[in-house]
Amino acid sequence: MQFARVDERIAAEMLNAATTAGGLASYLNFRHTQLVAGRLVAEMDALEDLLTPFGNLHGGCLSAMVDHCLGVLFSPVIPAGSWFATTEFKLNLLRPVSSGLCVAVADIISLANRSGAARADITNDGKAVCAAHGTVTVASTKRNGP
């Protein structure tokens, strides 16, 4: 997909942002391994303290990973002077995760003036564990009038 604008400086900053941002991304130890226009690859470990009493990674961790990927993915390609927020996302949890590395690959599938859509697939040790689709709303910070 071609984008009207790609800010390489923002992409470079966002590549390391998961480890420096604090908050949930730091707590879940998200790591960005690739960020190019329209694609993000991120990873997290299925740590023991994130497991449910049944021994599986809580689905909220994968949900947080999808939402996080949406936030990072669109940053370098939205128009200058704009901001965006996740509007919605849907995910299918395909199989339980109990250990190992979770890898998310998120791709922009559409970007218009006021919205964008992306797909994210998460694997665990090479097996599909989550398929997601999400949208973001893009808004301009420019004001009309005084």
Strand arrangement of the beta sheet that strand 82-93 belongs to: 31-36, 39-45, 101-111, 115-124, 127-140, 82-93
Class of domain 8-140: alpha beta
Does the CA dihedral 25-28-34-40 come out positive or negative?
negative
pTM metric for this prediction? 0.91
DSSP 142: -
Average pLDDT over the chain, rounded to an integer: 92
pLDDT digits (tens, 9 = 90+) for 76-116: 999 988 999 999 999 999 999 999 999 999 999 999 999 99
pLDDT digits (tens, 9 = 90+) for 58-69: 999 999 999 999
Does the CA dihedral 126-93-29-21 come out positive or negative?
positive
